[in-house]
Structure 1
Amino acid sequence: MSVRILALVGSVRAGSTNRQLAEAAVKLAPEGAEVVLYEGLAQLPFYNEDVDVEGSVPAEALRLREAAQGADAFLLFSPEYNGSIPAVLKNAIDWLSRPYGAGAFGGKPVAVVGTALGQYGGVWAQDEARKAVGIAGGKVLEDVKLSIPGSLNRFAETHPVDDAEVAGQLTEVVTRLHGHAAQGVAA
């Protein structure tokens, strides 16, 4: 049974270490899991309930919702901007939380991981992302976490997929998320 995991990255910077971490997750996915890296959060307009009506929903929001509806689970990658969740990731969560009570997260398993420059690896932002996605209807896996500190130094010359410690930890995260999602798909 194949499980589709949609990866959302909260950094749109070309050299983003969180994007690199997401690329590593795609490569390290266990058999039976497909991690799909969503492209397009930079083009997603800010959530506005006035345009979130049939016939007016922006094309990029429709594309995101369609990708999310086709996912069995979500893997969010969050850096930390000024001690908080990046706007691009929060905006995606907002679009996916609607329509109210029937959003795309719909009880699907969600894990939040990431890397940041600071000594704690972005845990504040990741905690806020877990809170937001839980309120938005996702089944947050509170015990599936990975926060990697010192991102710019640690990954200055090494891609996360080539860092044995990180690759092992990330493989464990994706494997556990896959297990939770597979239970939901089988049910």
Structure 2
Amino acid sequence: MPSLLLVVFTLQFLLHVVNTVGATTLNDLLWILYNKFPTPTSSSAQKAQKSKREVVRLKRELGAVSPQDDFARWAKLQRQHDKALNDFQKLEASLRTHQTTFTTTISTLRWLGTQGLRFLLQMWFAKSPMFWLPAGWVPYYVEWILSFPRAPVGSVSINVWGIACASMIVLVGEALAATYVLVTKKPVPTAEKGEPMAFMAEGKPRVEGKKEL
């Protein structure tokens, strides 16, 4: 059985990764990976990508043909483009429905496996000491704080240990981000509003771009 200290640390690390990368980004990556395997939507996803490339190709050809100089070819390309676009939109609408269900399921499982598990552990092991402090090492009021809320005085509670792990992970993340900037001379990747993603303790950065065909 893994050490409870390690379990709590791992949960805090996973939460930090989710908060840093962003739940939306993770959901999108998992959706892409999901469609790489032989799943019910993998075939439709491949068809949608192929249809999208066809729409882009026809749009480029259509833009290179003048309706005044070669109306017959332009009209033919326009009909092909409209048909390909209509097929792509139908496939995309169907995939979006499946993706919504997939995202809801993944978000629920992720919450249960991180936040939900953390809350459960904190309630179940609220009275259990993570480890004991040496006698007389710190004043009594410090011992009481470290044992908050219900662990024996003189020990470190699971809540305090979780806070300590989260703080250490954030500090290490900031140090790694600063090292990255110093070594590469490049700014830290930022979210949509410009906040350094590696420094975000809460929130779900979401970067969206304008969709183009």
Alignment TM-score, normalising by the size of structure 2 = 0.21
Alignment TM-score, normalising by the size of structure 1 = 0.23
- More helix, by proportion: 2
Larger radius of gyration: 2
